[in-house]
Amino acid sequence: MSWETISAFLTNNQLVNIPKGLLLALIGACLTAYFWLTADDPNAKFLSGIPPVFVIVGLCIALVSWIGILHSKRTAKAKAALLKESKIAQYDAPALSNMGALSDRNAITTLLYLIQNDRQRFMQSGISGGAYHLLERNIIQHSNVVDGVMSQGTYVVNRNVWAHRAEFVSLHANIQLVSGIDYSSANHRRGV
């Protein structure tokens, strides 16, 4: 049996927990104090009897429960980090191949605009058709995919795509962008 199995059994069945351990220790301490105060002989053998055992067992139960809680929190954090990485990896895998297979001119100019303006993270209330095309292919992603926080209208260029941005720019060096136009905006055709 592993520590996780024992800890899960004890915690799930509520056989031991911090309040029960502290209560048992308090009862043992109160009984020890009562016997000590009412004893005729201050060196009586009651100190080696049951009440001090209550104190020791109660403190041990509380300590084991506390260690179990700390272990559970640490395990949960590690699992959450692993889940987040696997979710990001799920989006990362196809992004590079999708970037190489882009044929839509609007999507290419939008990605060039984002790359050339060093905008890996950008906010846009309405995205253009090209940006939507990139979003469908995981080349850009909603911010909650990357950092777990959903912010309406915040997008991030995929980290693998961002790492290979120089190759994309050199591949599409023949495309010239008009300055002053935000190609990621839904209003870019009107110049708004």
**Model confidence at 10, in pLDDT bands (50, 70, 90)?**
low
For the stretch 152-166, pLDDT in tens is 778 888 888 888 888
Residue (of 125, 122, 123) closest to 162 by Cα position = 122
Hey, what are 80's tokens? 């959450």
Q: Strands 121-123 and 154-157: what pairing?
A: antiparallel
What is the CA angle 59-60-63, rounded to 5? 85
Rounded to an integer, what distance in angstroms lies between the CA atom of residue 39 and that of residue 31? 12
For the stretch 46-93, pLDDT in tens is 566 777 787 888 888 888 888 878 888 898 899 888 887 777 777 777
Report pTM: 0.54
- Contact between 158 and 91 (Cβ < 8 Å): yes
Please give the pLDDT value at position 192. Answer: 41
Residue (of 143, 107, 105) closest to 122 by Cα position = 143
Other Cβ atoms less than 10 A from the Cβ of 187: the count is 13
- Contact between 184 and 153 (Cβ < 8 Å): no
Q: Tokens 């055992």 identify what position?
A: 53
Rounded to an integer, what distance in angstroms lies between the CA atom of residue 37 and that of residue 148? 59
